[in-house]
Structure 1
């Protein structure tokens, strides 16, 4: 049986990808309930961008993606220079985090690693 070079390369690359899966990009989902229950928001990327958190009380960062830092803000739109009140949650990786801070959390940033961006 003869194989073309293209077929051999394709089979070899498929085999390598199966053995060594690519690192997953982390995402974060916020929930209306305090135990990652209730209405779920969108799964947004942990890339340092700002996202809204109104009417949410817990969140979960995708598991298996390494640890991440989530910074939550009392003010909307993740205030520049961390004006206003903020809370940091480090080592987020698959577990549910209740955001019972005693104040309304309105926005958040999820960093791509465990280094807090603010």
Structure 2
């Protein structure tokens, strides 16, 4: 555990990460159960091949949502793994301590505000 966090802060962040992880898992499960939309689109395509573009767009959107949820779940899992290491709460770019308020709002944060802003500006 990072020495910058109190035991109470550590417990709070762990609970928040677990809740966020459950929320993302539920959304991912709903998304994948929604894969019937893709099956439905395939069935519609078989009935009406002229709407192929619309069905391909639906499938691409479903895949993008799935990818986003999987990336979010991975970030939460990574944060849970880091939580019990000395690296948790330290900016991966500059090594400065990430303020607790930032971690409280985004416990999977990897960067301090300045480095995150610079990373977003670069992309």
Using the size of structure 1 for normalisation, the TM-score is 0.25
- Please identify which structure carries the higher strand content: 1
Determine which structure has greater relative contact order: mean sequence separation of CA pairs < 8 Å that are 6+ residues apart, divided by chain length: 2
- Please identify which structure carries the higher helix content: 2
